[in-house]
Amino acid sequence: MANSSINLTSLDFDSLKSNLKTFMKSQTNFKDYDFDGSNMSVLLDVLSYNTYLNSFYLNMAISESFLDTAQIRDSVVSHAKELNYTPGSMKSPKALVTLTITSNDNPTGIFEIPSGTTFSGFNANGTFTYSTDVNHIISSTSNTFIFSNVAIYEGTYFNDSFYIDYTIENQKFVLSNFNVDTDSISVQVIENTGANSAYYTKASKLYDLTPSSNVYFLQAAANSLYEVAFGDNVFGNYPQNASLINVSYRVTSGTDGGGISTFFLDKDLGPFNRCRASGTVQTISTSTNGANLESIDSIRFRAPRSYQAQDRAVTINDYKTLIIDTFQDIKDVHVYGGQDIPGGTKYGTVFIAPTTYSGSPLSTQRQQDLITFLNTKKIINIQNEIVNPDYIYVVPTISSTVDYNTTTLSPAQIKTMISQSVSMYNTKYLQVFNNTLRYSDFLTYIDNSDNSIVSSQVSFQLYKEITPTLLGNQTVTTVFNNKIKPGTVTSTSFLTEDGNTYQITDYNPNNDTFVRDTTTATYSTINKSPIIYLKQITTNNNQSYKKVGAIDYATGTITVQNLNVVSFLQSQGIRVFVLADSVDIVGVFNNIIEIDISAININLMAKT
Amino acid sequence: MSRADSFTQLSDKSEQFSDFLVNFNSHPMTGALGKITNEASVRRSIMNLISTNLGERLFQPNVGGDVNKALFEPLDQIAATSIRSAIFKTIQYNEPRANIIEVTVYPAVDVNSLIVNVIFSLINTNIPISINVVLKRVR
């Protein structure tokens, strides 16, 4: 039976044309629709193509209309703007330096380092320029001027000027440069041909704003640019007609310019201070905490949550959203209440564990900034406390069976491919809070490295690096938060105050307390007396064991008392190794699970 | 597509194939959209196929005689053979209503043209039909 209706659900050309042909079957006037050379077929081509284009554009247009489905950055940014969310800009890495200036003929005894003074430094990505953000002025009675802890930021300063013109409807003030660090924006408004000049401050909310408030609003513009906007003379002042707006800001390279530890002063500051001067630069802290432009996925994730938080820190998600939204250098943050800590309950305290893009802990200054920021958002009787992330490193030992008949790759190449897969898994699933290393997922990644891998087995050794203060008697506790296999605790060597070299262990052959657990089907090993020993390894023939602490195998807690370390011998601290007693490695609280890519063991066996 | 080994002769009035005119002209008496049928329809279809270049039809890159590619070729038997092959294939693959009897292409050096002659019969008849096409530069 002829089908006289057109099926409108298809989106591809062939289906559309097929639908039109089906429709044409219902009439007898023109029958050549099914022959490629016919005029009718050409007409159907055109109709199908037109429908195809329309459906494509319609699909794109509708997709771009929603935050969840939009693909173009400008669309996502525009939707985020409706939620009062400004996408994060590039952030300059920051370093602290001490500048020592020697000037023999300074007439005033005062020396100034002006804002915008540039320094150079280089890393693997190239040479980068750092700048001071404020003026530094000190006086000295000697010929030496020491500027301590001067903050320098990667990037150089630019200035955009605009004239307010009331004849332009909806005038925009879009900054002309990409890669602006919005934290560095300074807005000066000059009115009445120079009679009035004022610096406007940034406002993100309408609270407390009056018609005379000198504030500007920062918002995202098209093409990853930013624009400043002014009030409407109800919420914030709108500058007078013909006012001059000077917007100064820093343009940065983001994370590329981080990790620099040596800086050089770019120019002689003598002429500026009307004297001769020479200077040396000493680095106090390496440049860290840079960030790149916020990605589309990140905007899509954060914008609705930022709106949901309503600028208050009440729930865990409020904390996360506020912190990540405000501190661009923080990559991820884990927040948990003190009531959730087993054995160490601390009611009324919220613990905040931030990680940075550079991987280094948040600097003390930034931690203080974070606490100060949260003090205005938190519930009155809640205390906020920052804890550093606690890394648990995983060393996988991988045994794979390979069918060499199905591949031309050498064993070394297969090992490289497995190593790359592990690295990919590490980047995709780990290195953030609250993530678990799933045994089966991990195996799937390894098995998919190459078609020749027919099966794999993995065992996980965990380690944490503890860094007790040198030359001090102290108790050190480290928690793996994963079940530990009894008898598997070892460590790197360290020298103690008695002049001997020791390792940490839970196994003492002179007092073997390990027995088989016959009550379970697995006959697993248990330790009747879970004790931590210091094993002396100064001489191989003189191994003695000293009882120094305890271990809880269920929680993975190892406590070492009266530890007095003089120096670490094999790493930057003491690495405590254990074997996990479960197939999945779980990260809780401030734990971050990370695979130590450099230490992976891979064994290949040929399929028989 | 399988083709019939035997067939029944249709009367001339039977409208087996029908298409509209390429210039969309209307019928002078009724005002309806003009129509070509049967032999004329297939003839038009073959003319269309010969004059279509590869890639010209939307989403159908393999349809067409692609004679344009010979525009700057020497006017000799080699070019003629190449074009004959292309025309033969496109009719064979894209026009199942035509049984090709013969395709000839020969250079007319005097007038700087190629003469294409296609002889075919409709699938349900045995009457040979001839199409002559002159390929020449228009400017």
Structure confidence at residue A12 as a pLDDT band (50, 70, 90): confident
Q: Mean of the per-residue pLDDT values for chain A?
A: 87
Contact (CB<8Å) B96/A35: yes
- Residue B7 confidence (pLDDT) above 60: no
Whether residues A49 and B19 touch (CB distance < 8 A) is answered with no
CA atoms of A493 and A569, how far apart (whole Å)? 6
Q: What is the DSSP string of A332-383?
A: EEEEEEGGGSTTS--TTEEEEEEEETTSSPPPHHHHHHHHHHHHTTB-TTPE
**Chain B residues within 8 A of A38 when measuring between CB atoms:** 19, 41, 44-45, 48
Per-residue confidence band for B9, with pLDDT thresholds at 50, 70 and 90: low
What single-letter DSSP state applies at residue A272?
Answer: G
Determine the residue among A39, A47, A50, A52 to mutate to test chain B binding: the one whose Cβ has the most chain B Cβ atoms within 10 Å.
A39
Determine whether the interchain pair B94/A14 forms a contact, defined as Cβ–Cβ distance below 8 Å.
Answer: no
Q: Rounded to an integer, what distance in angstroms lies between the CA atom of residue A193 and that of residue A485?
A: 78
Q: Do A36 and B63 touch (CB under 8 A)?
A: yes
Question: pLDDT tier at A2 (50, 70, 90 boundaries)?
Answer: very low
pLDDT of residue A231: 92
Task: Pick from B18, B50, B97 the residue to mutate for testing the A interface (most A CBs within 10 Å).
Answer: B18
Q: Enumerate the residues of chain A whose CB falls inside 8 A of the CB of residue B49.
A: 36-37
Query: Does residue A39 belong to the interface with chain B, where contact is any CB pair within 8 Å?
Result: yes
Task: Give the model's pLDDT for residue A216.
Answer: 95
Inter-chain touch B59–A13, beta carbons under 8 Å:
yes
Question: Is the minimum CB–CB distance between B38 and chain A shorter than 8 Å?
Answer: no
Helix runs in chain B, H state only: 38-51, 77-94
Assign A529 a pLDDT band (cuts: 50, 70, 90).
Answer: confident
* Residues of B whose CB is below 8 A from A13: 58-59
Q: Inter-chain contact B21–A48, Cβ cutoff 8 Å?
A: no
Q: Name the residue in chain B with its Cα closest to that of A40.
A: B19
Q: What is the pLDDT of residues A122-172, one digit of tens each?
A: 999 999 999 999 999 998 888 889 999 899 999 999 999 999 999 998 899
Subunit contact A32:B15, Cβ cutoff 8 A: no
Alpha-carbon span A291 to B114, nearest angstrom: 69
- Using only the alpha carbons of chain A, give its radius of gyration: 33
- Cα(A591)–Cα(A493) distance, rounded to whole angstroms? 24
Facing A31 at nearest CB: one of B18, B22, B95: B18
Pick from A14, A37, A40: CB nearest B20: A40
Half-sphere exposure of A437 (CA within 13 A, CB side): 31
Q: Do B59 and A49 touch (CB under 8 A)?
A: yes
Distance, in angstroms, between B96 CA and closest chain A CA? 8
* CB of A34 less than 8 A from some CB of B: no
Predicted pLDDT of residue A31: 84
Q: What is the pLDDT of residues A24-82, one digit of tens each?
A: 888 888 888 888 889 999 999 999 999 999 988 998 999 999 999 999 999 999 999 99
pLDDT score for A465 = 86
CB of A56 within 8 Å of a chain B CB? The answer is: no
For residue A513, which phi and psi values (nearest 5 degrees)?
-110, 10
How many cross-chain Cβ pairs, A to B, lie less than 8 Å apart? 66
pLDDT at B4: 54
Q: Phi, psi (5° rounding) for residue A289?
A: 70, 25
Give bridge partners of residue A360 from the DSSP assignment.
none
Of all residues in chain B, what percent carry a pLDDT higher than 90? 36
**Which helix or strand (DSSP H or E) is residue A476 part of?**
strand A474-479
Question: What average pLDDT score do residues A418-435 get?
Answer: 85
For residue B27, give how far its alpha carbon lies from the nearest alpha carbon of chain A (Å).
Answer: 14
CB B87 within 8 A of CB A42: no
Q: How many angstroms separate the CA atoms of B102 and B49, rounded?
A: 16
Instruction: Please check the confidence at residue A1 and state whether its pLDDT lies above 50.
Output: no
Residues with Cβ < 8 Å from A182, sequence gap 6 or more?
A86, A89, A218, A226, A249
Task: Locate B34 and state its tokens.
Answer: 């003009």
DSSP 8-state secondary structure symbol assigned to residue A378:
B
The distance of B110 to chain A (nearest Cα, Å) reads: 31
Residues near A387 by Cβ (< 8 Å), separated by ≥ 6? A351, A352, A353, A590
Q: Do the Cβ atoms of B57 and A42 come within 8 Å?
A: yes
* ipTM associated with this complex: 0.83
